[in-house]
Amino acid sequence: MLTHLFRQWLVREKPLFFTLRAVPLFRDLNRRELQQVAHLLDIRAYSEGDVVFEQGAAGDGVYVVLKGRVAVSQKDGKDRGQVLLSQSESGSFFGETALLDDAPRTAAAVAEEDTRLALFARDALSQLAEQRPRLGVKIAIQLSQIIAERLRRTNRGLQAARDVLEKQQKRDKKNE
């Protein structure tokens, strides 16, 4: 009976199931856990140029790209232009820190083409943590590992930028 129900679900939701399976945040979940997560997702469609969220808006959760591409950018403090931070395509996700707190978004997200996204809201994670603590913990641990890796990558990039700046300052002093 359960296998038959899963097959019916898989036929109907196959693209969603396999996309979720490929997302690092959900990679370690088993079939039943993925089904539970899938039922909590809010599927949204965006046309090219549509704003997914603005910088400074309240964070509501993580977005998984099911189809299309989204540009994530941040306002440049000098001339108020936009600096591209990343492009998220099918199987990737963005906005994950909103699962941890309700701080304002630090960047904006805009669909670069017709796009389908799945929102996994912070409330959905809280619901999972209450109803299925083990599943909630699995997702929270994976999220922590992803954020830690991104922070390490950012720190390496900042160190490289400091090294370049230091070399340039030394060259400038020699040329004075």
CATH number at 2-175:
2.60.120.10
The 3-state secondary structure of the chain, one letter per residue: CHHHHHHHHHHHHHHHHHHHHHCCCCCCCCHHHHHHHHHHCEEEEECCCCEEECCCCECCEEEEEEECEEEEEEECCCCCCEEEEEEEECCCEECHHHHCCCCECCCEEEECCCEEEEEEEHHHHHHHHHHCHHHHHHHHHHHHHHHHHHHHHHHHHHHHHHHHHHHHHHHHHHHC
CA–CA separation, 84 and 27 (whole Å): 27
Rounded to two decimals, what is the model's pTM?
Answer: 0.80
- Closest to 94 measured CA to CA, from 114, 76, 68: 68
pLDDT of res. 29: 92
pLDDT of res. 95: 92
Phi, psi of 42 (to 5 degrees): -105, 110
Domain coordinates of the chain in residue numbers?
2-175
Q: Within 10 Å of residue 67's Cβ, how many Cβ atoms?
A: 15
* pLDDT top residue among 13 and 89: 89
Q: Which amino acid is at 136?
A: G
With a CB cutoff of 8 Å and minimum separation 6, the contacts of 110 are 49, 50, 51, 52, 70, 71, 73
pLDDT of res. 6: 53
Tens of pLDDT along 61-78? 999 999 999 999 998 777
CA–CA separation, 140 and 146 (whole Å): 10
pLDDT of res. 3: 58
* pLDDT top residue among 86 and 174: 86
pLDDT of res. 11: 46
| Torsion on CA atoms 42, 137, 154, 67, rounded to nearest 10 | -30
Q: Is the pLDDT of residue 41 over 70?
A: yes
Total residues belonging to the chain:
176
Q: Is the pLDDT of residue 129 over 50?
A: yes
